[in-house]
Amino acid sequence: QVQLQESGPGLVKPSQTLSLTCTVSGGSITSNDYYWAWIRQPPGKGLEWMGAIRGSGSTVYSPSLQSRTSISRDTSKNQFTLQLNSVTPEDTAVYYCFRGGSWGQGTQVTVSS
């Protein structure tokens, strides 16, 4: 039974870089049977798929976020990370990590001065 847990700052200032980590247990992020994704939900809006990394290490991103987004992994820690550059208040959202129907609890990130 795979479990995912997000961690990172709850408050980020505009223009800074947001970095979140998803720690995985009960499954290996090197498995190529799944992709490991980041999904977010701004207040009052729907879910937005941001991007993902496969077990091979290849990545894919939402076109609207590709220029600011980087997903990487640390296989020794069974973790994958989200980096979102040049954040604005519009990036305020609950951020989730996800694998094939398994969700993390989500973490609230607020972008504010």
pLDDT, tens digit, for every residue of 59-88? 999 999 999 999 999 999 999 999 999 999
In the predicted model, is pLDDT for residue 22 greater than 90?
yes
State whether residue 41 is helix, strand or coil. strand
Contact 8, 107 (CB under 8 A): yes
Distance of CA 88 to the CA centre of its chain: 17
| CA distances (Å), origin 77, targets 25, 67, 73, 92 | 10, 27, 9, 27
Residue with more model confidence, 100 or 84 = 84
Tokens of 85: 């550059």
What pLDDT sits at residue 101? Answer: 87
In the predicted model, is pLDDT for residue 32 greater than 90?
no
